[in-house]
């Protein structure tokens, strides 16, 4: 069986992905002059991971 903490982690990942994908695409045209694609993706990954760990800490 799948344990409860694994399901909680998956739900946190799904929540962050559901929020960050549209937000990241909406913000990219505004920051593309200052950051290239790889820099923006790295920044987006750091923010996503931070949000995911924060949500997991609150509900996990």
* Residues 15-59 pLDDT 10s: 888 888 888 778 777 877 788 878 888 888 888 888 888 888 887
**pLDDT score, position 5:** 81
**pLDDT score, position 55:** 83
CA 48 vs. chain centroid, Å, equals 2
Name 11's Cβ contacts closer than 8 Å, sequence gap at least 6: none
Residue 12 corresponds to which tokens in the numbers above?
């946190």
Q: Is the pTM of this model over 0.75?
A: no
């Amino acid at each position: 069986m799948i344990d409860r903490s694994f399901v909680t982690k998956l739900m946190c990942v799904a929540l962050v992905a559901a929020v960050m994908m549209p937000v990241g695409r909406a913000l990219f045209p505004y920051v593309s002059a200052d950051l290239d694609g790889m820099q923006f993706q790295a920044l987006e990954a750091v923010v996503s991971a931070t949000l995911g760990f924060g949500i997991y800490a609150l509900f996990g």
